[in-house]
Amino acid sequence: MPVKNRFAELHDEITAWRRDLHEHPEILFDTVRTAKVVADKLRAFGCDEVVEGIGRTGVVGVIKGKSTSSGKVIGLRADMDALPIHEQTGLDYASKTPGAMHACGHDGHTAMLLGAAQYLSETRNFDGTVVVIFQPAEEGGGGGREMCADGMMEKFGIQEVYGMHNWPGHDIGTFAIRPGPFFAAADLVEIEIEGRGGHAAKPHETIDSTVVASHIVLGLQSIASRNADPVEQLVVSITSFETSSKAFNVIPQRVTMKGTVRTLSPAIRDLAEKRISEICDGIAAAYGAKATVNYKRNYPVMINSDDQTEFAAEVARAVSGQCEEAPLVMGGEDFAFMLEERPGAYILVGNGDSADVHNPEYNFNDDAIPVGCSWWAEIAERRMPAA
């Protein structure tokens, strides 16, 4: 595998960075320690500029090539935040923070981009400028949106942007990517059912909010099966069901449900939002209850640009000898906000035979570090070849 020799030399050091980050996970925008570690290392590497506090706790480093006559500026992005999961790996470097762990590999992403930043700062074998982006709050907080809202793209003159995520279950050194829609829009929905509470032994005197809500959960499944074109991708999942009473002998006045909607096209997204309100209102009315729906459009569809996707795949083949077509992913990814601002591409890199992401037994595979670092570095050097 033609990874860069420098990353083989740095492998142990980058691994140590990664494991330190793994021990100290931080959630959403609370990536204060992580951001400081990143900023301190970027300054130690000799980055031309290091800016903190973008998108609340994001960090950006600027690395100029031996020449900048091309005028090209490329952004490379890694996410820094962890998940609210209690780790069950039993590792020597397991999370020291109860209820938080790096269960998605963002510790690995951050470490790999730091490794690439060190190499690029040392060699500067490119004609242009590299902007390394370390983003907080990918896991539901919209950190990418916040960094863009802070004017990151304009401030640093970023022209195109690239991202990477590890891929459990696929061999180290393998890559996969696809042009166009790749990761789904990830919307949030909260539904409140107001009935009439009462004694469980006298259901005829109540409007049972649990019965109404249960029918709504089932009714919402008809959106994908009976309203959407079968060739379209759509997921409607109710993931939380909470009543206003916890007693055995009380029919609750109120039920609150939460869930997520995943789509890959604007038309299906519109359809899902419309039908959720109609189904909730209709079923609630049939039972004499009232439904209140709060639908929040959250992460947009992540769309890879054609030219940048072809280039990213070419770099992957140069590093590993292959790059396959990735499947559509119904998970959300807030790199989508950056791809709405600039053309770019997002690629998957194999994590070996590991537990899946968002699993308490997951761990980023350190063997992927030289591969990932090499891809980042090659993106810069091949997109902006030295004069």
pLDDT at 387: 83
**pLDDT tens, position by position, for the chain (387 residues)?**
466 889 999 999 999 999 999 999 999 999 999 999 999 999 999 999 999 999 999 999 999 999 999 999 999 999 999 999 999 999 999 999 999 999 999 999 999 999 999 999 999 999 999 999 999 999 999 999 999 999 999 999 999 999 999 999 999 989 999 999 999 999 999 999 999 999 999 999 999 999 999 999 999 999 999 999 999 999 999 999 999 999 999 999 999 999 999 999 999 999 999 999 999 999 999 999 999 999 999 999 999 999 999 999 999 999 999 999 999 999 999 999 999 999 999 999 999 999 999 999 999 999 999 999 999 999 999 999 998
pLDDT at 2: 64
Q: What's the confidence (pLDDT) of residue 1?
A: 46
Q: d(Cα 191, Cα 42) in Å, to the nearest integer? A: 45
**C-alpha distance from residue 301 to each of 268, 298, 334 (Å):** 12, 10, 9
pLDDT in the model for residue 267 = 96
Decide: 45 and 139 in contact? Cβ < 8 Å. Answer: no
Residues 6+ positions from 271 with CB-CB distance below 8 Å: 223, 227, 228
pLDDT at site 4: 82
Query: What predicted TM-score, i.e. pTM, was given to this entire model?
Result: 0.94
Q: What DSSP string runs through 300-332?
A: PPEEE-HHHHHHHHHHHHHHHS--EEPPPB-S-
E-assigned strand segments in the chain = 49-54, 58-64, 73-79, 129-135, 160-167, 175-177, 180-183, 185-194, 198-199, 234-243, 250-251, 254-263, 290-299, 302-304, 324-325, 344-350
